[in-house]
Structure 1
């Protein structure tokens, strides 16, 4: 029969404990409603707890009252409003960038950029742990794509020495599954030396890191002009949805004129643009959100160390506890849910085989008591594994 591979591959996923399905929850925030239970949420990306801030809810409602629910068309027809223009001006001032193009998602923005800029004579160089949207787009474009070992600058330099009419290096600012950061200053030095462009996906750094939440580049002292393409999303620390690509006026003009994902997609709703603008303004007016998040990160790391829990070397809101095996990770996630904690198991292919993990994410709304309670539950769960002869990272045979 046609398309028999569908059922066969689903069955294989189930046998490997890799099967996935959506889970309906009733609300997001510090607490999440799941199957009629209220659980402490340690899985979301709402790092600054802005998604339910009354000021943002009001801003979106005001946007709805003024503009209605949708944009009605693509940006080049009638979908681009003064709300979009105002948002772009706010971003330009906030990040000190010349121009901005708005997208409906980071996935779409990343794929649009690579499809637009790279031809068969070009060289695309990506960090091995870049987001799936970047790796997938790189596999589809005509350019020669090579990857360098994660944050390995010697290997990056080897890759840069290869030929290519145009060379583009791409790294995340904060890596989404490990929480560690790219050495952007060294990457900038190498791209200058080899006359390459640099693109940074700062989905998990924007709003959280740097002065006024300007992100990874600002935190590491990188001038905006040294990052030729700056992608960031509005659905994580900013608490809304959508994405942007920032760069030179020529780059954004080129996107506007030649990028099919930009030209032929209905623009984001103006009311959403109003809410994003309000979120950027609010995070600058309320620096306590960043400060509280940093305190919570330090609290988690200290508590985990005291309990002997091995965590990844991350200084950001993403704090992975790597278990290794898929079934063992699912079992620990279920045990945590039963104790009142929502902490999602992340498995291959999102992460490499043998590195399944609980991706603990922290937000500014978590209390110290919340964090200590989670760490205690984690320690008990891992101790249960140890009693069965299994500890962190001892499940690599289970793929």
Structure 2
């Protein structure tokens, strides 16, 4: 008998419920800030990617409103037909100058950027070597290509060299890595990875979603952090939705990269351009991070304080090097229970378990921001201490 739609939906949802993996997103009832409202309660927000506090910043809202009034509510078409406004290209020039690259192109999201760029660059006969912990958008983007796909051990230049040495090709060789890994908060050893890639004639592709606005001079990202910003054999992609507080994705690199993507990247070719208000807010974000270094200074001061205090209390933060600060609870049920207990104490921090992270490594992922005050962090740490002692994660 043919499966009905109702049967399929019911069976899939039942499977998720039975395995404890059914997601029911929390709904924020106030703007995305260091403090927000969830379930009618004022909470300290440790769950967002709003690193610099830009999502509700007056400068972004003001420029978004100005672009809305001048340019309208929408782009009205895909970029290649009639949807490229002057402000789109102005922002892309601003972004390329910020990244110190020959060109930049903005796409609809970080996820679609990986699909579009990887799908454009890689052809049959090419070799792509990907870090085993790369983001899902990279994995899905690679699935759409017909290149030969290989994996190297996480952040391991020696293993990258082994894989490249064992897989010769006359086609393009591409090494793909996150700049900052979103679950563990560690930084890719990009200087050593690029050195190995160059030894074997490979191009390095860096997804800097969690590095842009966080690392490098004025938040220029992981590539700049390692002094590789002038390298034509390094491609940078990322999001405009985390530190920049808005939405979108970008690709920045070789001067010809932009033109090829305009002609071949399917998400770009078949999606409407960003609304003017989005472009205005993004432009304001890039201006703000360069004009006011205090945002990054506060972000890192808060990060150092929060990590040090968690360690003092006895929590395992899994070697994180960035504002992404996981707290290890082990089993999925324990991480989810801790998240619920923290929420009852006024701290919004989300538990992550298998299959998002490996079995036995369930954690709560915290992200402090430039907007958090010391009082916010003290209250959050006090809540963590109470919950950790109640659950036996730290000593009593």
Per the shorter chain, which TM-score range?
A: over 0.9
Map 1:218-367 → 2, pairs under 5 A: 218-367=224-373
Residue number in structure 2 paired with 1:368: 374
| Match for residue 93 of structure 1 among 89, 92, 97 | 97
Are 2:180 and 2:211, in contact at CA under 8 Å, matched by a contact in 1? yes
Contact 1:173–1:201 (8 Å) recurs in 2: yes
Kindly provide the CA deviation profile for residues 261-320 of structure 1, in whole angstroms up to 9, marking residues without a partner as x.
211111111221121111100111110000001100110111112211111211211000
In the TM superposition, what is the alpha-carbon distance from 1:226 to its structure 2 partner?
A: 4.8
* Partner SS for 1:107: helix
Could you tell me which of 178, 194, 200 is aligned with 1:172? 178
TM-score scaled by length of structure 1:
0.94
* Residues 1:109 and 2:117 aligned together: no
Give the paired residue count.
388
Q: 1: distance between equivalents of 2:179 and 2:372?
A: 24
The structural deviation recorded for 1:365 is 0.9
Q: Deviations over 1:332-376 (max 9, x none)?
A: 100000000000111222212222210010101111122122122
Distance in 1 (CA, whole Å) between partners of 2:241 and 2:188 is 21
Question: So what's the TM-score if we normalise by structure 2?
Answer: 0.95
* Conserved? CA contact 1:16–1:326, under 8 Å: no
Q: Does 1:129 align with 2:106?
A: no
Gaps spanning 5+ residues in structure 2: where? none
| More displaced 10-residue stretch of structure 1: 16-25 or 203-212 | 16-25
Which sits farther off after the overlay, 145-154 or 9-18?
Answer: 9-18
CA contact (8 A) 1:45 1:236 kept: yes
Give distance in 2, aligned partners of 1:223 and 1:36.
45
Secondary structure (helix, strand or coil) at the match of 2:212 reads coil
Give the Cα–Cα distance (whole angstroms) in 2 for the partners of residues 177 and 328 of structure 1: 17
1:97: Cα distance to partner?
0.7
Aligned-partner Cα distance in 2 for 1:23–1:370: 20
Are the counterparts in 2 of residues 257 and 263 from structure 1 also a CA contact under 8 Å? yes
Q: Give the Cα separation in 2 of the matches to 1:363 and 1:256.
A: 35
- 1:108: Cα distance to partner? 0.3
Which residue matches 2:39? Answer: 35
Q: Shift of the alpha carbon at 1:252?
A: 1.4
CA contact (8 A) 2:233 2:254 kept: no
Q: CA deviation at 1:74?
A: 0.7
Whether 1:217 aligns to 2:220 is: no
Comparing 235-244 with 373-382, which one deviates more in the overlay? 373-382
Classify the secondary structure of the residue corresponding to 2:215. Answer: coil
Q: Would you say the 8 A contact 1:83–1:271 is kept in 2?
A: no
| Alignment root-mean-square deviation, CA | 1.4
CA separation in 2, counterparts of 1:310 and 1:258?
Answer: 45
Task: Please say which of residues 137-146 and 147-156 is displaced more in the overlay.
Answer: 137-146
Displacement of 1:68 after TM fit?
1.0
Match of residue 52 from structure 1: 56
How far the C-alpha of 1:163 sits from its partner, in A, is: 2.1
Shift of 1:223: 3.0
User: Does the 8 A contact of 2:47 with 2:349 survive in 1?
Assistant: yes
Q: Name the counterpart of 2:15.
A: 12
Question: CA 1:94/1:287 → structure 2, altered by over 3 Å: closer, same or farther?
Answer: same
Structure 1 gaps, min length 5: 393-399
CA–CA distance in structure 2, aligned partners of residues 334 and 131 of structure 1 = 26
The aligned residue for residue 74 of structure 1 is 78
Answer whether contact 2:299 2:368 (CA < 8 A) is retained. yes
One of 23, 26, 29 as aligned partner of 1:23? 26
Aligned to 2:153: 149
- Whole-angstrom distance in 2 between the partners of 1:83 and 1:351: 40
Cα distance, 1:5 vs. partner? 4.5
Give the Cα–Cα distance (whole angstroms) in 2 for the partners of residues 218 and 18 of structure 1: 38
- Asked if structure 2 preserves the Cα contact closer than 8 Å seen for 1:303 and 1:372, the reply is no
Residues 289, 295 of structure 2: 8 Å contact kept: yes
